[in-house]
Structure 1
Amino acid sequence: MVADKQRLLVIYGALKYRGIYRHHQDFDDLAQQAMGWYAEAYRDFPGSPEKDQSSFSHYAFQRIDWHLKDRFKRQKVRANHQRLYLDAEVNDENASEWLIDSDCDAALIERVAAQQLWRRLWPYLTQKENSYLRCVIELGLNNKEIAERWQTTPQAVSYVKKRVIEKARAIYSAPPNIA
């Protein structure tokens, strides 16, 4: 009985951590998937889940959280792609050129979208901000790695990142120029 309560606590806790509550439209499906991920974590746990319940709970929670994060990231990429497709207003003749196969690697789609964003932002960014985007998009570096490369602190890199995000929001929220 305690094991069942612990299992449900881990599963529902991971869902809640990602903002998925009982009123969420996909709650039942995600809870069912989370139970499967919990079973996988039980199978893959290095050691005995019964003997080290605390470590296992943390391990299972993290596994479920990673799966949820990955799922939402893929959904976001697909939604962004659909939005880009609709915004492009392509006609039926060349629509096949714009559609991306659903089996296509989500990372590739994300990278292409990031490069398109960079091209649009480039004229509005400072040299340092462009350097930041190059490090993130082309080199795949995180803030800590960029800080080491620039010989500065991660906080300074975070400040540059914040400025890039603010400029991107300003550019994308501005009404389009119709002349």
Structure 2
Amino acid sequence: MVADKQRLLVVYGALKYRGIYRSHQDFDDLAQQAMGWYAEAYRDFPGSPEKDQSSFSHYAFQRIDWHLKDRFKRQKVRANHQCLYLDAGLNGENVSEWLIDSDCDAALIERAAAQQLWRRLWPYLTQKENSYLRCVIELGLSNKEIAERWQTTPQAVSYVKKRVIEKARAIYSAPPNIA
């Protein structure tokens, strides 16, 4: 009982330290992942976690914090890389230039429009929502294929799609920013 309470204190404390509260959209996923990192810390701790609970708690907290820091750093790098790709358009060309090209077929024009929409939505979407759009726009996957790829249910993918649509509607229905 004490060990469970200590585990929860360490895991939730590390999440809170990184500014991830229960209201955070990815809280449940990150908490679950942090539980796994806690288990790894328990396994890798040099010594006995039961005998030296204070040192182990500090060790586990630090391990979880480092994992979270690395995860957020990777997300930022990925987001910057993806934004560069989206800004470059297809094949390194400017999207607006090749939209005018008469040799473009309807599929390329549709994909360019989708990428422009994605570029505008990017800052407002979670990692999962951006991943969904990447699967749809870049890879052309269906919800069923995305569910198989993510190893989840089609209903979960539909929920992510619903959130993307809601955010897109909110952004496009908002009055223009006149400064």
- With normalisation by structure 1, the TM-score equals 0.51
TM superposition shift of 1:68: 0.5
TM superposition shift of 1:86: 1.7
- Verify the 8 A CA contact 1:77 1:106 in the aligned structure 2: no
**Range with bigger deviation, 167-176 or 58-67:** 167-176
In 2 relative to 1, CA 17–92 (structure 1 residues): closer, same or farther, beyond 3 Å?
same
**Separation of aligned partners in 2, 1:51 and 1:29:** 30
- Verify the 8 A CA contact 1:85 1:98 in the aligned structure 2: no
Deviations 1:9-67 (A, max 9, x none): 00000000111010111110110010000000000000000000000000000000011
In 2 relative to 1, CA 102–79 (structure 1 residues): closer, same or farther, beyond 3 Å?
farther
In 2 relative to 1, CA 66–116 (structure 1 residues): closer, same or farther, beyond 3 Å?
farther
TM superposition shift of 1:80: 0.3
TM superposition shift of 1:158: 47
Q: Name structure 2 gaps, 5 residues minimum.
A: none
Q: Name structure 1 gaps, 5 residues minimum.
A: none
Aligned residues: 179
**Range with bigger deviation, 143-152 or 79-88:** 143-152
In 2 relative to 1, CA 176–83 (structure 1 residues): closer, same or farther, beyond 3 Å?
farther
In 2 relative to 1, CA 43–148 (structure 1 residues): closer, same or farther, beyond 3 Å?
closer
**Range with bigger deviation, 74-83 or 141-150:** 141-150
Question: Which residue of the partner structure matches residue 49 of structure 2?
Answer: 49
**Range with bigger deviation, 120-129 or 1-10:** 120-129
- Verify the 8 A CA contact 1:74 1:106 in the aligned structure 2: no
TM superposition shift of 1:88: 2.1
- Verify the 8 A CA contact 1:77 1:110 in the aligned structure 2: no
Deviations 1:117-137 (A, max 9, x none): 999999999999999999999
What is the CA RMSD across the aligned residues, in angstroms? 18.1
In 2 relative to 1, CA 168–8 (structure 1 residues): closer, same or farther, beyond 3 Å?
closer
In 2 relative to 1, CA 157–13 (structure 1 residues): closer, same or farther, beyond 3 Å?
same
TM superposition shift of 1:177: 21
Q: What is the DSSP-based 3-state SS (H/G/I as helix, E as strand, rest coil) of the residue aligned with 1:68?
A: helix
TM superposition shift of 1:89: 3.0
**Range with bigger deviation, 142-151 or 42-51:** 142-151
In 2 relative to 1, CA 155–79 (structure 1 residues): closer, same or farther, beyond 3 Å?
closer
**Separation of aligned partners in 1, 2:164 and 2:158:** 10
- With normalisation by structure 2, the TM-score equals 0.51
